[in-house]
Structure 1
Amino acid sequence: MKNIILEKIINNKLKTNLNIQDYIPNGLQIEGKKHIKNIILGVSACQQLLNIAIKLKADAIIVHHGYFWNNESPVIKGFKKKRIYTLLRKNINLYSWHLPLDINEKIGNNIYLAQILDIKIQGKINPFIFYGYLKNKISIKKFLLKIKNKLNRIPLHFGKNAPKKIYKIAWCSGAGQKFLEKVLYFNVDVFLTGEISEMNLHIANENKIHFISAGHHATEKGGVIMLGKWLKKKLKLKTHFIDIYNPI
């Protein structure tokens, strides 16, 4: 598979051309060898992932969090130089898809969360927030235990005086805590996201809604996992997801 062709195929699958303002360039960020057979996937393109990709003789790396963010310095030195030098020296392609892997309705972080937590998707509150229903009302304790088991981490939970039984869920992978106030108007029992801010505790308690922070990394593994499985099945490429521990 040619590297440029692979980029076009994934762009088409994830509908990257949607008019959504992103913080990072999507697609092929650093060009490597032209032909790709072996792909390593991960959440973030950290040095540890690059080193593993070299050991596994990868032709390409696909991540959710790549390089060249809008709010970072354009200067390439220190750890940035080391990362880019590693890729160029070994002629490895680096691909990154950020918001397209959050908002896509077939392959993505939010779709993955719905699947592993048994939530039936009903729609979206905005392009980034999904909502849906559990099969049956369950206790918040059971839901938290399911999150712990499926994402392999203990979620942070607040919800003073919120209902003990839950049914309607809204969720947004990653740094979705800024959407809590918007979710309040949609009569949900739970809002699940990756990160948390100081004010979220008070807003959740005062509005009797369960707020769950399950980790930015943990809630954004699913997109690249699903993409890797799709590439293996559809294009017969060798894919391997590497889960580098990150409690954040």
Structure 2
Amino acid sequence: MTDRAALELRLNQWLEPGRFKDYGPNGLQVEGRAEVRRLVCGVTASLALIDAAIAARADAVLVHHGLFWRGQDGRVTGWMKQRLARLLAHDVNLFAYHLPLDAHPTLGNNAQLGARLGWTADARFGEQDLGFSAAIAPTDLAALAAQLRDQLGRPVTAVSGDGRPLRRVAWCSGGAQGYFEAAIAAGADVFVTGEISEPQAHYARETGVAFVAAGHHATERYGVQGVGARLAQELGLDWQFIDIDNPA
């Protein structure tokens, strides 16, 4: 058991949100009860996750994608009203960490994804050093795509480059397809992220560097789990990860 202030302090110490220029507020987004015994972790503060957390008797919810984003309509109507109403009615705290949870060198989305795939980052690249890069045993695109599919439990989209052996992988979870050019400049043979947009297929074919889109949600499931497990160990919290399926 801990209290809300101590939990936020520990999260901010680990994730250092002040270091990042982000798209929304990091930290405590919705204040609930002061005492925290049970924590639920998830990817996105959707109504389905909030309802599942309430059913699990959570005192706090920790997510990667919170409720508030830059440029958002500020009115509390529709889906926003529903989500906030549930949290407030049940006095549940909502903590959200976006880019800080991608970037953490051991607990973050990229580090945790890499650990599950056997990739140990030896370099960082891209804006705010969010991209990770590692040397790997030589492989080919089909084998790497199959490894990702098996680990993440979903199909992936793979665009071949020039067929070279893959000796260096670069990756950045979520919607980081815009990092592809930085990954190419960093010497990657293949770039792995969550999503693909129209230009990336052409870049792969023209530069020879392969591209794999493995799912925005799927590649960002592991950071909150790493943090949740660490919080349980250090603060004695009861915690669980609840995965709300998302095909994106």
Q: TM-score range by the shorter chain?
A: over 0.9
Q: How many angstroms does 1:42 deviate by? A: 0.3
Q: Would you say 1:141 and 2:136 are equivalent positions?
A: no
Q: Would you say 1:162 and 2:163 are equivalent positions?
A: yes
SS at match of 2:124: strand
Q: How many angstroms does 1:72 deviate by? A: 1.0
| Structure 1 unmatched runs, 5+ | none
Q: How many angstroms does 1:124 deviate by? A: 0.4
Aligned equivalents of 1:6, 1:61: Cα separation in 2 = 11
* 8 Å CA contact retained: 1:123, 1:130: yes
Q: Would you say 1:55 and 2:55 are equivalent positions?
A: yes
SS at match of 2:212: strand
Runs of 4+ aligned residues of structure 1 deviating over 6 Å after TM superposition are none
* 8 Å CA contact retained: 1:162, 1:189: no
Q: How many angstroms does 1:17 deviate by? A: 2.2
Aligned equivalents of 1:87, 1:228: Cα separation in 2 = 20
Letter in 1 for 2:10: I
Tell me which residue corresponds to 1:16. 17
Q: Would you say 1:37 and 2:57 are equivalent positions?
A: no
* 8 Å CA contact retained: 1:32, 1:87: yes
| Structure 2 unmatched runs, 5+ | none
Aligned equivalents of 1:33, 1:186: Cα separation in 2 = 46
Tell me which residue corresponds to 1:82. 82
* 8 Å CA contact retained: 2:161, 2:211: no
Q: How many angstroms does 1:186 deviate by? A: 2.2
Tell me which residue corresponds to 2:4. 3
* Structure 1 length-normalised TM: 0.96
Aligned equivalents of 1:152, 1:12: Cα separation in 2 = 33
| Number of positions where the alignment pairs a residue of Structure 1 with one of Structure 2 | 245
Q: How many angstroms does 1:187 deviate by? A: 2.2
Percentage of matched positions with identical amino acids: 36
Tell me which residue corresponds to 2:171. 171
Aligned equivalents of 2:105, 2:113: Cα separation in 1 = 12
* 8 Å CA contact retained: 1:162, 1:205: no
Aligned equivalents of 2:166, 2:117: Cα separation in 1 = 13
Instruction: Give runs of aligned pairs for residues 162-201 of structure 1, distance below 5 A.
Output: 162-163=163-164, 165-201=165-201
Q: How many angstroms does 1:30 deviate by? A: 0.4
* Structure 2 length-normalised TM: 0.96
Tell me which residue corresponds to 1:131. 133
SS at match of 2:192: strand
Aligned equivalents of 1:186, 1:99: Cα separation in 2 = 21
* 8 Å CA contact retained: 1:131, 1:171: yes
* 8 Å CA contact retained: 2:133, 2:171: yes
Aligned equivalents of 1:181, 1:142: Cα separation in 2 = 23
